[in-house]
A and B are shown apart, each in its own frame.
Chain A
Amino acid sequence: MHLLDIRNLKTHFYTLEGVVKAVDDVSFTVDEGEAVGLAGESGSGKSTVALSVMRLIKPPGKVVSGQILYKGEDLLGKRIAQFDDVRWKEISMIFQGAMNALNPVYTVGNQIVEAITHHEGTSSTEAWKTAERLLGLVGIDSSRAHSFPHEFSGGMRQRAMIAMALALNPSLVIADEPTTALDVIVERQILDLIADLKRKLGLSILLITHDLSVISELCSKAVIFYAGQIAELSPVAAMLKEPLHPYTRGLLDAFLRIDGEKEKLRPIAGNPPSLLNPPSGCRFHPRCPYAKGICSTEQPKLTDVGGRLVACHLFTGAS
């Protein structure tokens, strides 16, 4: 059984301008001990997937249909009060830009302790001990537990967030752009930290990012997201060696390879699509160098290509 099994998830936003289909029929799984990377451009809908799993979608957004199975149980079927028990204990989240993800009026230690005492009813002293241990785990001196978030640097805040996310020994950690707001050096440290913790604690991770290099480091499986839908789902190694979907190819081409030949950077032509009014047929077709006639009329279904999934007419066997 998969740890996390997302089936045909649809999350839409009913705005004044129309319906934004941020997540439009998305399915993938995360197994125990696995790190899955969800990649896509800004505004592609990938954060919405994470928020849907944590059921943090606010109006005008709504999870329209689909199932989110965690250890076999559909999370969407639970009442919020019940779900509050699952939150953080089983699945926790590291938010993008911990600058604002930590409450400025409480100390960092306090915020970790809060989660522990609320869910497990442990005494305050015990909880503080755990909090200090967790901070130590992420490389923050325990004496800093009584500092406020604004007294931490960006990298330290991110570490603190990680410590907080691990407070209740969750099985699944969702990391939403954990390193986007950090500089390269700090990014390196955080990535190493996450890899280390994953190994030590046997965590399962759903990593959301626009940076394929981050995925290639930490994850074993990659889900390439485009315009609210999955373009390609594949083991990372195979994806890097031989990207199937033209979008994936475009993404890889847009990044420098430190070991490859000196090539020109080739960004993907065109602009990110509107989720309000997505292009007809295959949503990538306006920017695709391989687009055929059928691409603008019919949406390609996810096809199995040697154990990998691609949504592209190059592989659907259509002419």
Chain B
Amino acid sequence: MSKANVTRRQRVRSTLQNASAFLKTFRRSKMGVLGLAIIVFFIALALLAGPLAPYPPKLMGAGQPFEVPSAEHWLGTDDVGEDLYSQLLYGTRVSLMVGFVAAFMSTIIGTMVGLISGYFGGKLDEFFMRVIDVLIIIPGIPLMLLLAAYLGPSIWNIIFILVFFGWTTIGRVVRSQTLALRELPFIESARASGAGDMRIMFTDLMPNLVGIIVPQAILSIVGAILGEAGLSFLGLGDPTNQSWGLMLYYAESYGAFLRSAWWWIIPPGLCITLVGIGFTFVGYALNDIFNPRLRRRGA
């Protein structure tokens, strides 16, 4: 067996060992497991929306308007008789998709900016930090609304807007961690042995950043989902799509209150909240695992 094969074998084995150790630790976290269960549940709903939904979500007259939940319509109907349970199921797709995509893109951008800013320092770093500071102060929602008004309602516009504001948190976190790692001896030695900046950043620094990036990324999904729900609620969502926020927009605008249609008001918001809690739990659990806080002892 060649030396290369042996090393690769060893590396695979150690990765698997790390993975199983990680899973064991994760399983110990009640919060993490519960959160994961919630997320998996909703992902399943999203994937199985088609077969699970008894009616097409936009079928007007599937039932009488404002029907109370019943065996035929588990969550009742809206003002034009569309089945709300089906809407809820399909809404899972949009909410989760936007959440994932927006968070993913925010993470990429934030990581790049944070890494470059922290590594190179100097004027570049100052510039990016000022940019982040400015973006944080300017009220995001009003600006998002302004942009959305100009760009029109579309899923990708929403994602763009969410990413435009969403990358700053990860950017800051990655930057401060990069700053801390930059001074460590192993980076010094990498530089001394002639490694280029790119190599150092991606091969040496990145693996050590994963521990803070991943929890942050998960937590940023919550913000993205809430953001999409908010924009949809204000009527800037894509009307051709189904989303929980959009359901609440229709509820608010088409008389759910007047008709005491609690079955229209409660479920979509409840789903958003539950999904948010699920991701928050997982994010916190991962944070505890990757970045355990030191406990104080007296001796």
Direct contact of A and B (CB under 8 A): yes
A178 interface residue per 8 A CB criterion? no
- B contact residues, range: under 10
B residues adjacent to A (C-beta < 8 A): 295, 297-299
Q: Could you say which residues of chain B place their CB within 8 Å of the CB of A47?
A: 298-299
Instruction: Please list 10 pairs of residues, one from A and one from B, whose beta carbons are closer than 8 Å in the complex, sorted by A's number.
Output: A13-B297, A15-B295, A22-B299, A43-B299, A44-B299, A47-B298, A47-B299, A51-B298, A58-B298, A275-B299
Central interface residue in B295, B297, B298, by most chain A CB within 10 Å: B298
Q: Could you say which residues of chain B place their CB within 8 Å of the CB of A43?
A: 299
13 A-B pairs besides A15-B295, A15-B297, A48-B298 with CB distance below 8 A are A13-B297, A20-B299, A22-B299, A43-B299, A44-B299, A45-B299, A47-B298, A47-B299, A48-B299, A51-B298, A57-B298, A61-B298, A275-B299
5 nearest A-B residue pairs (beta carbon): A43-B299, A22-B299, A61-B298, A48-B298, A51-B298
Q: Could you say which residues of chain B place their CB within 8 Å of the CB of A57?
A: 298
Consensus secondary structure, chain B interface: loop
User: When chains A and B are docked, how far (Å) is the Cα of A51 from the Cα of B297?
Assistant: 12
User: When chains A and B are docked, how far (Å) is the Cα of A15 from the Cα of B299?
Assistant: 12
Q: Could you say which residues of chain B place their CB within 8 Å of the CB of A13?
A: 297-299
Within 8 A of B (CB), among A38-80: 43-45, 47-48, 51, 57-58, 61
Q: Could you say which residues of chain B place their CB within 8 Å of the CB of A22?
A: 298-299
Please give the distance in Å from B256's CB to the nearest CB on chain A.
50
User: When chains A and B are docked, how far (Å) is the Cα of A44 from the Cα of B298?
Assistant: 11
**In this complex, what residue of A is CB-closest to B296?**
A58
Q: Could you say which residues of chain A place their CB within 8 Å of the CB of B298?
A: 13, 22, 47-48, 51, 57-58, 61
Please give the distance in Å from B292's CB to the nearest CB on chain A.
11
Q: Could you say which residues of chain A place their CB within 8 Å of the CB of B295?
A: 15
Q: Could you say which residues of chain B place their CB within 8 Å of the CB of A44?
A: 299
Q: Could you say which residues of chain B place their CB within 8 Å of the CB of A61?
A: 298
Please give the distance in Å from A124's CB to the nearest CB on chain B.
35
User: When chains A and B are docked, how far (Å) is the Cα of A275 from the Cα of B297?
Assistant: 12
Q: Could you say which residues of chain A place their CB within 8 Å of the CB of B297?
A: 13, 15, 20
User: When chains A and B are docked, how far (Å) is the Cα of A22 from the Cα of B298?
Assistant: 9
User: When chains A and B are docked, how far (Å) is the Cα of A43 from the Cα of B299?
Assistant: 5
User: When chains A and B are docked, how far (Å) is the Cα of A48 from the Cα of B295?
Assistant: 17
User: When chains A and B are docked, how far (Å) is the Cα of A48 from the Cα of B298?
Assistant: 7
